[in-house]
């Protein structure tokens, strides 16, 4: 399976891509239009994601600038028969709002 690393855990890059998608959806709603990821800060892998885990991705606005939005993205795995909830990763993603020429534009209300 191509989404597994050498330890048999779900590859961190796959999890990161899910986080980027989720953060981008939230940022796009706030920006009322297209956004692009410009930075990922404070990325922390807390626990591995195992085969069979069901992950939930939670994203919310943490900070706002004139053209950019900081979105905190947390991932929780539901694991095993007991349905244990385990925090697996967290990161702060920065997105910039884009105009029709793919240049930064002010956020609504800025």
* Predicted confidence (pLDDT) per residue in 4-41, tens digit: 888 889 999 999 999 999 999 999 999 999 999 999 99
R_g of the chain computed on alpha carbons:
16
Which is it for the CA torsion 93, 13, 48, 58, positive or negative? positive
- Residues 45-52 have a mean pLDDT of 95
Q: Kindly report the pTM of this predicted structure.
A: 0.93
Give me the domains of the chain, ranges plus CATH numbers.
Answer: 12-97 (3.10.129.10)
Say whether pLDDT at 51 is over 90: yes
Q: Of 88, 90, 105, which Cα lies nearest the Cα of 40? A: 90
Question: Quick check: 92 and 71 in contact, CB under 8 A?
Answer: yes
pLDDT number for residue 29: 98
Say whether pLDDT at 2 is over 90: no
pLDDT number for residue 110: 81
């Amino acid at each position: 399976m191509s989404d597994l690393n050498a330890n048999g855990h779900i590859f961190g890059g796959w999890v990161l891509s899910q986080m980027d998608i989720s953060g981008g959806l939230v940022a796009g709603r706030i920006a009322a239009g297209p956004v692009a990821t410009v930075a990922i800060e404070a990325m922390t892998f807390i626990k591995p994601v195992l085969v069979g885990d069901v992950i939930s991705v939670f994203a919310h606005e943490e900070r706002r600038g004139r053209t950019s939005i900081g979105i905190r993205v947390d991932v929780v795995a539901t694991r095993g028969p007991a349905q244990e909830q385990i925090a697996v990763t967290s990161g702060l993603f920065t997105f910039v709002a884009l105009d029709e020429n793919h240049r930064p534009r002010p956020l609504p209300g800025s």
